[in-house]
């Protein structure tokens, strides 16, 4: 308990003073409505290559979606609309047919969801007012948590008055059963996972995603044939006010980057790693070094930064980008990761 208390104080202190720009917690984050374009692979691209136009509210301090969004096709027909909270879909999302009639209404809450309305492609009612049986395609991850391989399957389930009931069945594309779950009036009671002819009982539900494009969008994957990095992409879509200041940041916020490093770099329990990253005015990482740590950690940390170096955004002073440095402290073990997870996504801001 004493160690955890010390870590909390040290973590908050370091994140406020080790970043090499002046900061303040007084100003509210700048939320602006911007227009982005996506190609058929759900990658950010230029308008002439786009198949979907997104109008979305974005936190320009943390560079995350935060607010209402609407997706349109090339004829300006509304496809979907919903809400992002700290970079993730949250609350009600409506999807529409080409004639603009409602196709589905799904309520997202973290990794959970409730289907309130759902029609088949033939516009037959499957779920009405949170009650009904359905079969839908979904995506699930295999491999490691940090580098998953995404596969597609189908799920058969039932809602009653907005609560999961009965048995839910999950299959791969070959119709082999992956999982079976049981629910009682919305309460998860049991899950069996099947693999290679064996089965194992688990005490937590399966995590699934209805759209692979959603996963790609949330990490800002971009068309590398059109843009060198994310900074170049967003420089065409965002104009910063002349009074705006921001520390250098990462796609989805520095919290996402800190978790990525903490999970992939072997920092021992009760130890600390400090990484220095130099980022120029074009969002290019010009150097990475470990200010505190051992050689094994240094190699791993540099490799992590290299794998995501095209997803940094430069610091902004008076509306203009400039070169700066980030000093990121990473604490080892489960406690360190928990402390990072507890941080708000926009935990650091420069003074205005």
First and final CA of the chain: distance in angstroms? Answer: 37
The tens digit of pLDDT for each residue in 205-214 reads 998 887 766 6
Mean residue pLDDT across the chain: 84
* pLDDT number for residue 104: 95
pLDDT at position 132 is 97
Determine the pLDDT at residue 260.
Answer: 81
Strands 312-313 and 315-317: unpaired
In the predicted structure, residue 33 carries a pLDDT above the cut 90: yes
Q: Is the pLDDT of residue 23 over 90?
A: no
Domain regions of the chain by residue span? 2-28+241-342, 112-206
* Cα 57 from Cα 30, distance rounded (Å): 10
Whole-number percent of the chain with pLDDT over 70: 85
Q: What is the DSSP secondary-structure string of 158-211?
A: EEETTEE-EEEEEEETT--EEEEEEEETTEEEEEEEEETTEEEEESSPPP-BS-
- Mean pLDDT in residue range 281-307: 83
Identify the weakest region by mean pLDDT among 121-130, 132-141, 176-185, 341-350: 341-350
pLDDT attached to residue 290: 80
Give the residue-averaged pLDDT of 147-159: 85
Dist CA 251 CA 229 (whole Å): 11
Percent with pLDDT over 90 in the chain: 56
Dihedral in degrees, nearest 10, Cα atoms 80, 216, 231, 83: 30
Q: Is it the case that residue 95 has pLDDT exceeding 80?
A: yes
Q: Stretch 85-110: mean pLDDT, rounded?
A: 92
Query: Is 116's pLDDT higher than 60?
Result: yes
CA 207/CA 209 separation, integer angstroms: 7
What is this structure's pTM? 0.81
**CA 13/CA 159 separation, integer angstroms:** 47
Q: What is the 3-state composition of the chain as percent helix, strand, coil, each rounded to the nearest 5?
A: 20, 45, 35
Q: Which tens digits make up the pLDDT trace of 41-65? A: 888 999 999 999 999 999 999 898 9
- DSSP letter, residue 296: H
* pLDDT per residue as tens digits for the range 226-238: 999 999 999 999 9
Q: Any idea which fold 2-28+241-342 has?
A: 3.30.1150
């Amino acid at each position: 308990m004493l160690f955890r208390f010390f870590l909390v104080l040290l973590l908050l202190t370091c994140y406020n003073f080790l970043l090499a720009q002046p900061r303040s917690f007084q100003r509210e984050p700048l939320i602006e409505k911007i227009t982005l374009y996506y190609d058929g692979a759900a990658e950010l691209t230029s308008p002439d290559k786009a198949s979907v136009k997104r109008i979305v509210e974005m936190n320009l301090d943390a560079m995350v979606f935060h607010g209402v969004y609407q997706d349109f096709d090339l004829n300006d027909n509304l496809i979907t609309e919903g809400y992002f909270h700290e970079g993730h879909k949250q609350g009600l999302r409506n999807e529409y047919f080409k004639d603009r009639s409602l196709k589905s209404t799904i309520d997202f809450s973290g990794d959970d969801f409730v289907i309130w309305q759902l029609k088949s492609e033939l516009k037959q009612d499957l779920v009405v007012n949170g009650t009904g049986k359905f079969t839908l395609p979904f995506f699930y991850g295999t491999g490691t948590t940090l580098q998953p391989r995404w596969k597609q399957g189908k799920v058969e389930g039932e809602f009653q008055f907005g609560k999961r009931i009965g048995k839910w069945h999950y299959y791969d594309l070959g119709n082999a059963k992956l999982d079976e779950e049981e629910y009682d009036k919305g309460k998860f009671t049991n899950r069996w996972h099947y693999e290679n002819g064996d089965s194992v009982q688990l005490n937590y539900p399966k995590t699934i995603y209805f759209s692979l494009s959603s996963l790609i969008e949330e990490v800002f994957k971009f068309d590398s044939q059109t843009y060198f990095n994310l900074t170049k992409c967003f420089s065409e879509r965002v104009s910063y006010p002349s009074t705006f200041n921001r520390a250098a940041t990462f796609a989805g916020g520095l919290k996402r980057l800190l978790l990525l490093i903490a999970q992939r770099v072997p920092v021992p329990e009760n130890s600390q790693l400090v990484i220095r990253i130099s980022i120029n005015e074009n969002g290019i990482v010009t150097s990475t070094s470990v200010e505190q740590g051992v050689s094994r950690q240094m190699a791993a940390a540099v490799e992590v930064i290299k794998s995501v170096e095209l997803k940094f955004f430069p610091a902004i002073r008076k509306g203009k980008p400039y070169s700066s440095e980030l000093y990121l402290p990473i604490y080892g073990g489960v406690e360190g990761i928990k402390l990072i997870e507890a941080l708000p996504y926009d935990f650091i801001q420069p003074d205005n």
